[in-house]
C-alpha cells in the first residue's frame, strides 16, 4: 500500500512524461473529438434512409380505445404508420426486459406511463414524421394512476399490470437479505439505536447525446445491421435474435462514438426495436433519434428508493448493525437490470466500509405509472443508494453520540488485516486499507482547521458545513457463476494481433461512451508488451469485429476486460518467447524478458524485440512444433471476484441563511482503484462523478404531479450542474491493488457518483445544525433548505 501525492509519477510508469505503459497519456480518441470529427449516431446517413418518430401517450394510465392512422398515412412523405396491433401480428408487441419482465414496444391494451410509445411513423424526413404524429387520432379511456410508491400496495389501488395473468396488486418482489433474527438481537441489546427515513429521489443520467438507432435490414440475405447508442452491443445482439427471430449470425450491431451513457444506454428501448421493424416493413434503412424530452421522460431513470434506515451502536461509538426496509419504485415495467443472483443485488453492500455484527434488509419492489428503468446513472446497480443510506445513518449516529463523523468512521472501519473480508450479506471484499485514505482526505482538507473555522462562523451566525463520506463499491460484474443478464454469463473476450511490423490491434468486448478505452486498453498492452501505445489500435463497439462480452456498465470494463487484455498480451509474450528462441537458436528457458524484448540470459545484446519477433513469426523462421506463424492470441476471462474500490470524501459548503442557497465551496476526494492505468483519465472520471453528485444533491429530480404528468421533461425543469455550481475539485489517491486482478486494477467509473451525494448532504445537514436539522432529503434546493430551516422538512416527492 502506498500513499502518493496527486500528480506524482505513477510508480508503474517508466517515464511519466512519455509513458510506455501506465501513466498520464493524453487520450488517443481526443484529436477526433476536439476537431468535431467524432462519428455519433446522428452522423450516420445511409443511402435511401428514412426517419422514424414515436407518438407518445399524453396520459399516465388509460385504456387504449381506438387509434386511427388514416390521416397520418396520407401525409406527404409518410411511408408507414406502425401500431401495437401491427406488432402483435409480428409477435413483437412486447419485448423482454433485462429483469425477466416484459415491456410493451407499442401500446396494445393500456397506457401505463406518460410518454409511453403508442405508434411509430416512418417518413422521408424527420419533419414529415413529426408532423404526421399530430394526425394520428387516439381515443383513451382514463384510469386513476398510481404515482406515489407508498400508495402502490394500498388495497384497492388500480392494478397497473393487468396484462400479467393472475396479478391482483402492484407488488413486483420482496427481497430479503441478511439475518433478521440475528440483527434484531443485536438491535435489542444495543446502547444506542437511531432511525431515519432516507429518500433517494428519481433522477436521470441525461447523457449529452440522446438515444437513437439506424436499422438497415437487407431483405435479400436477411441481414440486419443496427447502429445503436448502446453500452452492450453483444448482449443486444443475442436479445434481438431471441426476440425477433433473426438468426444471430445475421445480426451486426455497431455502437459508434457515444456522447455519454452513464447507464442510460444499457437497456433495449422500444425505439430501437421500432427502427428495426420500420426497416423490415419499408425495405429501407430507418433512423430514429429521440429528442431531449423523450430521453428524460421515457428512458431509464435511476434510484427512486424510499429507505427506512436503522443503525445500532454502543455508547462508545462501535457500530454494531444496520437494518433497512426499502420501497423501490420500478415504474410500469420492471426493466431494472439485476445481474447478480444476490437477491437484493448490489444494494446489499449497505453494510458499507464497517465491520458489523449483523445486517438485514428487505426490499419491496412496486409498479407505478411512471417510466421504467431503475439503475442507470453511474450507480453500480444500487450501490449508490446503499452508500447514501449507510453514510447518512453513520452521520446521524455521530450527531446522536456527539462524536466527530470522521472519528466515528475511523473507529469502525474494516481493518486491513481482515481482507479478504466477508460482509454480512454475502460479498467478499477483495482488498482495502481504509484508514490511510480517510487520513489523507482529512490532511488535504485541513480538517481540524475547517472545524475551527466552522465554530467561529457559527458564532457570527454564518452557516458552514463539513460533510464526510466513505464508500466501498462493488464493481466488475463478474464471475459467471454469480452473475448473468437474462441468462448470459459475464466472461468477456479479448483478441490481440501483432502485425509483422510490430503494430498491434486489440479487440475488446466492452464499449466506451467517453471513458477513454482506446487509450487505456492500449496502455495495458503497452505495459505488458512494451509496444508504444500509439502503435496499438483498440477496436470496440462492432459485434462483427470484436469478441463476445456483456458490455460496459457497473464499471466492469477495467475489472473484466482490462483483465482479459492483460492476459491476452501475456499470452502473446509467452508465444513470442518460443519464436525468439527459434530466431536466436537457443532454448526458451534461456531467455529473459525486459519490457519490449526477449534476450539471452547473461548476454543482453543477443535479443529480439516484439516487432522483430512478429516479423519472424510471419516470416521464414523455422518455428518450433505447435507454434503457428503469427503473433496473435485470444482469451476469455472469467474473473474470480468483483473488485471493491473505495474512497474518502470531504465536502465543505456555505449555506445562505437568508435564501437557503448552498454553495459547495470545497470538495476533497481521495479514491483508491488499485493499480492506476491512466491517472489523468481517472481524474476525469472522478471529476465527472463528483459533478453528478452535486447535481443529485442540489438540483436533480424527475418529479410528477398527481395525475402522473412528468414535470421534468426538459433542461428548463430538470436542472443539471454547470461549471458555475462546482468547485475546483481536490483529488488524491491511495493504491491498494486487487489481489485477484491480473494487473491489480479496480474500476473507477462510478465511484465519485456513488460517494459524493452523501458527503454533500452530510455537509448541508451539518451546516443546519443550529436549526436542529438532523436530516433532509435531496435535492437540497434553496427552497427545500429554507423550509428545513423553518422546521418544515419534507420528502422530495
Ligand atoms: N481506469 C484506469 N485505472 C483504473 C480504473 C480505470 O485508468 N484502475 C480507466 C479505464 O481504463 C477507463 C476509465 O478509467 O478508461 C473507466 O474505467 P472503469 O472504471 O473500468 O469503467 P468503465 O470503463 O466500465 O466505464 C463504465 C462507467 C459507468 S458504469 C458509467 S455509468 C459511467 C462511467 O463509467 N459512464 C460514463 N464514466 C463515464 N465517463 C464518461 N465520459 N461517459 C460515460 O457515459
Ligand atoms: Cu449503473 S450506470 Mo453504469 O453501470 O452504466
Q: How many CB atoms lie within 10 A of CB 238?
A: 20
pLDDT the model gives residue 797? 58
Q: Is 677 in the pocket of ligand 1 (CB under 6 A)?
A: yes
Candidates 608, 607, 553; CA nearest to 747 is 553
pLDDT the model gives residue 375? 79
704-725 mean pLDDT: 97
Element (H, E) at 460: none
Q: Is 516 in the pocket of ligand 1 (CB under 6 A)?
A: yes
Q: Is 745 in the pocket of ligand 1 (CB under 6 A)?
A: yes
Please provide the DSSP assignment of 139-206 as one string. Answer: EEEE------GGGTTSTT---TTTTSTT--SSEEEEEEEE-HHHHHHHHHH-SEEEEEEEEEEEE---
Q: How far is CA 656 from CA 140, 192, 788, in A?
A: 48, 33, 13
d(CA 527, CA 533): 9
Q: What pLDDT digit, counting tens, does each position of 113-166 carry?
A: 999 999 999 999 999 999 999 999 999 999 999 999 999 999 999 999 999 999
Residues lining ligand 2, CB < 6 A?
Answer: 231, 261-263, 266, 375-381, 553-554, 750
List every span in the chain annotated with CATH 3.30.365.10: 492-637
Q: Is 645 in the pocket of ligand 1 (CB under 6 A)?
A: no
pLDDT the model gives residue 340? 82
Band of pLDDT at residue 388, cut at 50, 70 and 90: very high
pLDDT the model gives residue 18? 52
List every span in the chain annotated with CATH 3.90.1170.50: 41-143+210-257+265-298
d(CA 154, CA 175): 19
pLDDT the model gives residue 19? 66
The residue ranges of DSSP E strands in 58-136, in sequence order, are 62-68, 78-83, 94-96, 102-104, 110-111, 117-123
Given a cut of 50, whether residue 329 has pLDDT beyond it is yes
Contact in structure between 746 and 559 (CB atoms under 8 Å)? yes
Element (H, E) at 328: strand 319-329
Ligand number with the minimum distance to the CA of 678: 1
Q: What is the CATH number of domain 41-143+210-257+265-298?
A: 3.90.1170.50
What percentage of the chain reaches a pLDDT higher than 90?
91
Given a cut of 70, whether residue 12 has pLDDT beyond it is no
d(CA 701, CA 696): 7
* CATH 3.30.365.10 at 492-637, yes or no: yes
d(CA 541, CA 263): 16
d(CA 614, CA 612): 5
d(CA 456, CA 451): 9
Given a cut of 50, whether residue 235 has pLDDT beyond it is yes
Ligand number with the minimum distance to the CA of 751: 1
- Residue at grid coordinates 430479503: 176
As a whole number of Å, the end-to-end CA separation of the chain is 44
Contact in structure between 721 and 694 (CB atoms under 8 Å)? yes
Please give the distance, rounded to the nearest whole angstrom, from the Cα atom of residue 205 to the centre of ligand 2: 9
pLDDT the model gives residue 742? 97
704-719 mean pLDDT: 97
d(CA 399, CA 404): 8
Please provide the DSSP assignment of 507-565 as one string. Answer: EES---SSS-HHHHHHHHHHHHH---GGGEEEE-SBTTTS-----S-TT-IIIIIIHHH
d(CA 671, CA 736): 10
**pTM > 0.95:** yes
Q: What pLDDT digit, counting tens, does each position of 757-788 carry?
A: 999 999 999 999 999 999 999 999 999 999 99
The DSSP bridge partners found for residue 359 are: 322
Peptide bond into 249 cis (omega under 30): no
Amino acid at each position: 500500500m502506498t500513499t502518493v501525492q496527486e500528480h506524482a509519477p505513477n510508480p508503474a510508469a517508466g517515464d511519466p512524461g512519455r509513458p510506455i505503459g501506465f501513466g498520464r497519456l493524453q487520450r488517443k480518441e481526443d484529436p477526433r473529438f476536439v476537431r468535431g470529427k467524432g462519428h455519433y449516431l446522428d452522423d450516420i446517413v445511409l443511402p435511401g434512409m428514412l426517419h422514424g418518430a414515436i407518438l407518445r401517450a399524453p396520459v399516465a394510465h388509460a385504456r387504449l380505445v381506438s387509434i386511427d392512422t388514416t390521416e397520418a398515412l396520407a401525409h406527404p412523405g409518410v411511408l408507414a404508420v406502425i401500431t401495437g396491433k401491427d406488432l402483435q401480428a409480428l409477435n413483437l408487441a412486447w419485448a423482454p426486459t433485462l429483469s425477466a419482465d416484459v415491456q410493451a414496444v407499442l401500446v396494445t391494451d393500456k397506457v401505463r406511463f406518460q410518454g409511453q410509445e403508442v405508434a411509430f411513423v416512418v417518413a422521408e424526413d424527420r419533419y414529415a414524421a413529426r408532423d404526421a404524429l399530430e394526425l394520428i387520432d387516439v381515443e383513451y379511456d382514463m384510469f386513476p394512476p398510481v404515482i406515489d410508491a407508498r400508495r402502490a400496495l394500498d388495497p384497492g389501488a388500480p392494478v397497473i399490470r393487468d396484462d400479467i395473468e393472475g396479478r391482483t396488486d402492484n407488488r413486483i418482489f420482496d427481497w430479503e437479505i441478511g439475518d433478521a433474527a440475528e440483527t434484531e438481537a443485536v438491535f435489542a441489546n444495543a446502547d444506542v439505536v437511531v432511525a431515519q427515513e432516507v429518500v433517494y429521489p428519481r433522477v436521470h443520467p441525461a447523457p449529452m447525446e440522446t438515444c437513437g438507432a439506424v436499422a438497415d435490414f437487407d431483405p435479400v440475405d436477411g441481414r440486419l445491421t443496427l447502429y445503436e447508442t448502446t453500452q452492450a452491443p453483444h448482449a443486444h445482439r443475442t436479445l434481438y435474435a431471441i426476440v425477433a427471430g433473426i438468426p444471430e449470425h445475421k445480426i451486426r450491431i455497431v455502437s459508434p462514438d457515444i456522447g455519454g451513457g452513464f447507464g442510460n444506454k444499457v437497456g433495449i428501448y422500444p425505439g430501437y426495436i421500432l427502427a428495426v421493424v420500420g426497416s423490415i416493413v419499408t425495405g429501407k434503412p430507418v433512423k430514429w433519434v429521440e429528442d431531449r424530452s423523450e430521453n428524460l421522460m421515457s428512458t431509464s431513470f435511476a434510484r427512486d428508493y424510499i429507505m427506512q434506515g436503522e443503525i445500532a451502536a454502543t455508547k462508545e461509538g462501535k457500530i454494531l448493525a444496520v437494518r433497512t426496509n426499502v420501497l423501490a419504485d420500478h415504474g410500469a415495467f420492471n426493466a431494472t437490470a439485476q445481474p447478480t443472483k444476490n437477491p437484493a443485488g448490489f444494494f446489499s453492500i449497505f453494510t458499507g466500509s464497517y465491520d458489523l455484527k449483523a445486517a438485514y434488509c428487505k426490499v419491496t419492489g412496486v409498479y407505478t405509472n411512471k417510466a421504467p428503468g431503475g439503475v442507470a446513472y453511474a450507480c453500480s446497480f444500487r450501490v449508490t443508494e446503499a452508500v447514501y443510506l449507510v453514510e447518512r445513518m453513520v452521520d446521524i449516529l455521530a450527531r446522536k453520540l456527539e462524536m466527530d463523523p470522521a472519528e466515528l468512521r475511523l473507529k469502525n472501519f474494516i481493518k486491513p488485516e481482515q481482507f479478504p473480508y466477508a460482509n454480512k450479506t454475502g460479498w467478499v471484499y477483495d482488498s482495502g486499507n481504509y484508514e490511510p485514505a480517510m487520513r489523507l482526505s482529512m490532511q488535504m482538507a485541513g480538517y481540524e482547521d475547517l472545524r475551527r473555522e466552522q465554530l467561529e462562523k457559527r458564532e457570527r451566525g454564518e452557516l458552514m458545513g463539513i460533510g464526510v463520506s466513505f464508500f466501498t463499491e462493488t464493481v466488475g460484474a463478474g464471475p459467471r457463476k454469480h452473475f448473468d443478464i437474462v441468462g448470459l454469463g459475464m466472461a468477456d473476450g479479448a483478441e490481440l494481433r501483432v502485425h509483422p511490423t510490430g503494430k498491434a490491434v486489440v479487440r475488446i468486448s466492452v464499449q466506451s461512451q467517453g471513458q477513454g478505452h482506446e487509450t487505456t486498453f492500449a496502455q495495458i498492452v503497452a505495459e505488458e508488451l512494451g509496444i508504444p501505445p500509439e502503435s496499438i489500435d483498440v477496436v470496440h463497439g462492432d459485434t462483427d469485429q470484436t469478441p463476445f462480452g456483456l458490455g460496459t456498465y457497473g464499471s466492469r470494463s477495467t475489472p473484466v476486460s482490462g483483465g482479459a487484455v492483460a492476459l491476452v498480451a501475456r499470452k502473446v509474450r509467452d508465444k513470442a518467447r518460443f519464436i525468439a528462441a527459434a530466431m536466436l537458436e537457443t532454448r526458451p528457458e534461456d531467455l529473459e524478458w525486459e519490457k519490449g524484448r526477449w534476450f539471452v540470459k547473461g548476454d543482453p545484446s543477443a535479443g529480439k524485440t516484439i516487432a522483430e519477433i512478429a516479423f519472424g513469426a510471419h516470416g521464414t523462421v523455422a518455428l518450433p512444433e505447435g507454434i503457428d506463424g503469427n503473433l496473435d492470441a485470444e482469451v476469455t476471462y472469467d474473473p474470480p471476484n468483483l473488485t471493491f474500490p473505495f474512497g474518502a470524501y470531504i465536502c465543505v459548503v456555505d449555506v445562505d441563511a437568508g435564501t437557503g442557497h448552498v454553495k459547495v465551496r470545497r470538495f476533497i476526494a481521495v479514491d483508491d482503484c488499485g493499480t492506476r492505468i491512466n491517472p489523468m483519465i481517472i481524474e476525469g472520471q472522478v471529476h465527472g462523478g463528483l459533478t453528478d453528485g452535486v447535481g443529485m444533491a442540489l438540483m436533480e429530480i424527475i418529479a410528477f404531479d398527481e395525475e402522473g404528468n412528468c414535470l421534468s421533461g426538459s433542461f428548463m425543469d430538470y436542472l443539471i450542474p454547470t461549471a458555475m455550481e462546482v468547485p475546483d475539485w481536490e483529488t488524491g489517491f491511495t493504491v491498494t491493488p486487487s489481489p485477484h486482478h491480473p494487473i491489480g486494477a479496480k474500476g473507477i467509473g462510478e465511484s465519485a457518483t456513488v460517494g459524493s451525494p452523501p458527503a454533500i448532504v452530510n455537509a448541508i445537514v451539518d451546516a443546519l445544525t443550529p436549526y436542529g436539522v438532523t436530516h433532509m432529503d435531496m435535492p437540497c434546493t434553496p427552497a427545500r433548505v429554507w423550509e428545513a430551516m423553518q422546521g418544515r422538512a419534507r420528502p422530495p416527492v
